[in-house]
Amino acid sequence: MTSLEPAEQLDEPSGWRASVLSLRGWWRHLVWLLAAVAAGGAALYFIYAERWSLDFTRWALRRSPSLAALIVGVGMIVICRLRDRLFPGTEGTGIPQAMAALQMGDTPARDRLLSLRVGIGKVVLLTLGLFSGATLGREGPSVHVAACWLYASRHLARFSRPLIERGLILAGGAAGIAAAFNAPVAGIVFAFEEIGRTFDKRNAGLIVRTVAVACLVCIVPLSDYLFYGRIEARLGSLREWLAVPVIGVLGGLLGGAFAQAVASTTPRVTRLARRRPYAVAGSLGLVLAVLGLLSNGATYGGGDDQARAILIHGQALPPTFALARAAGSFVTLISTIPGGLFAPTLSVGAGLGQLAAALQPEMDRQAVILLVMGAYFSGVVQSPITAAVILFEMTAARFLVLPLLLTTVLAYEASRVVCRVSLYEQLAASFLRQRT
């Protein structure tokens, strides 16, 4: 070995013989495969848990709206206390935690953050959150759990240093997003664009393979489906194209304002919750209960069904739908209970889209709604390529790919006017400060 050999290759034999002809190589592939299957299995479980929870919430609403409100109020207290007492490290969506883990390096702190205990806790607490009716999605926890499973696999097999440092975590994060929405390309893009914030060819192969396996685990029982449904809308005139920058800028500003509000409020609520845990959890639960009562249950759950009803089936929900869901998502996010923001954010975007479509009756309604969803989503997460790609994969809207890309990029630039640092990056930094 010469001094010119890269350090990251010292931990693992290189070459196809070591990978194909050695028992150690085959064992490493088997361990990775099992971890990738587990990542897809977690996402599949969350999909079914969400469906069961929606049935449970509908049952509670039929019995009494007050019963559904009581469940979400008490549920918030139970989840917060279980998180703090039994499962520290499970707080938040899970994506900031994956980003923080990358910055921690190969340290005991990272081991704790991506431990099997945290992964199991995330599964338990998200299940409770779904059945309580909190305004949350499942993709963030899917990312965190998948990252835990992939990172834990290094204890069973010998991986190269680049995979241990970044690759396994990025692969888990990509698999979590991809399997949650049957959006493999969006999962890969999000891993590089937001979680890792850099492209490294050494990890690309593992990420793609892991995404493929995780998606297949979900496709086998669910079939190869479009998350929302097929859209054939297009922009046909110059006047319609001129609406793209308006939608992008306004949607980005609204999304950026929401993201900044969450980023600014969350640390304050977290500090207050350390001093008065029951009071804070109870207050947040009370707000969610009141929102559920005032909105006739529209704020419960991730909002996928409402977004699909608006976008695909042409239903018109109350004008206050977007505001109510944004309020519910805000309260849930600042509570830092395990839960994702993708689905609630897209449902808010759909609600805003139906309002925008009413102002532009000459444009295709589906096109307007989809562009507004992309703009608002890009404004919140500040990942413009992911926003465009994931909506395309959810709808197969091939005629709107270019408008979506232009809209999400403009929304990203507009969002940065009011939110200079992305929401996930701010939450990751806050998470790291709490542990140093």
Tell me the pTM: 0.93
Torsion of CA 203, 204, 205, 210, to 10 degrees: 90
Domains of the chain, with CATH numbers? 15-222 (1.10.3080.10), 238-434 (1.10.3080.10)
Tell me if 229 sits within 8 A of 312, measured CB to CB. yes
What secondary structure, in 3-state letters, does 82-106 show? HHHHCCCCCCCCCHHHHHHHHHHCC
Pairwise CA distance, residues 227 & 393, whole Å: 8
231: three-class secondary structure by DSSP? coil
Per-residue pLDDT of the chain (436 residues), as tens digits, is: 333 333 333 344 455 555 555 788 788 889 999 999 999 999 999 999 999 999 999 999 999 999 999 999 999 999 999 999 999 989 989 999 999 999 888 888 899 999 999 999 999 999 999 999 999 999 999 999 999 999 999 999 888 888 888 889 999 999 999 999 999 999 999 998 888 777 777 888 899 999 999 999 999 999 989 999 999 999 988 999 999 999 999 999 999 999 999 999 999 999 999 999 999 999 999 999 999 999 999 999 999 999 999 999 999 999 999 999 999 999 999 999 999 999 999 999 999 999 999 998 999 999 999 999 999 999 999 999 999 999 999 999 999 999 999 999 999 999 999 999 999 999 999 888 876 6
List phi, psi (to 5°) of 315: -75, 150
Pairwise CA distance, residues 266 & 98, whole Å: 18
Pairwise CA distance, residues 213 & 206, whole Å: 11
Structure tokens at 398: 């091939």
Q: In 3D, which of 313, 266, 306, 321 has the Cα closest to residue 137?
A: 306
CA end-to-end distance (rounded Å), the chain = 38
Alpha carbon 401 to chain centroid distance?
Answer: 21
